[in-house]
Amino acid sequence: MIERASPDRSAKTGGRKADRPSVQTAAPWSVPVVVAEVPDTGRSLELAPDEAQRRAIAAAADILELPRCAASFDLTRHGTDGLRVVGRVSATVTQRCVVTLEPVENQVDEEIDLLFQPQADVPIAPAADTGHQGHEAAEPPEVLHGGVVDLGAVATEFLMLGLDPYPRKPGAVFEAPPAGDPASHPFAALAALKKDGGKKGP
């Protein structure tokens, strides 16, 4: 589970990480790693959820299917109790086309670069300087809970970040009704309902 050190903290100004969903409930894919067990030389991991876990991730991400998902991580110790997590998550996802409502397959490929530190070691970020909004600020550390980092939750979070919010099949085009069509008026259905409701039976 990933949690920000403070609600006042902000991620990279103008970056996509600012929109990362916060995993508040039990992760559909959990791969806990104890920081104290990571050697000083670091540790590399290649992970892939099984079929049941992919179904759970798909349900959590509100997509139709997740036929493929893989994540790779390079872990390095940071200070006494911190951990830097660098890696990538890639996946094949099936979403619903926003135009035709038919299934459409997309690819997700997201880079991961996070620093986890115990709450006491996370510095308090100063108030935002509105005079420097054009410059990217450093990504604040994630809070480390119980000395454990859940790599499955991290991968799931970044997979969700990489989803196309408006999936569309190639060539699919939304066709609005003609402007002169009375049925296209936003209040047409309401007017018809009121008209029918006003008729009294014998």
What does the pLDDT read at residue 125?
56
* Residue 108, token pair as written in the block: 């997700």
What does the pLDDT read at residue 132?
46
What does the pLDDT read at residue 29?
96
What does the pLDDT read at residue 140?
86
What ranges do the domains of the chain cover? 16-197
**Element spanning 67, H or E:** strand 65-78
Give alpha helix (H) positions in 63-176.
Answer: 151-161
Closest CA to 136 of 4, 17, 8: 17
Contact yes or no for 27/152 (Cβ under 8 A): yes
Contact yes or no for 59/43 (Cβ under 8 A): no
- b/e burial code for range 86-99 (CB count within 10 A of at least 16 → b): bbbbbbebebeeeb
Instruction: Report the distance separating Cα 152 and Cα 48, nearest Å.
Output: 9
From first to last of the 202 residues of the chain, give the pLDDT tens digit: 444 333 333 333 334 444 554 444 478 999 999 999 999 999 999 999 999 999 999 999 999 999 999 999 999 999 999 999 999 999 999 999 999 999 999 999 999 999 999 986 666 555 555 444 444 445 789 999 999 999 999 999 999 999 999 999 887 776 666 665 555 555 555 565 566 555 555 5
What does the pLDDT read at residue 173?
73
What does the pLDDT read at residue 12?
35
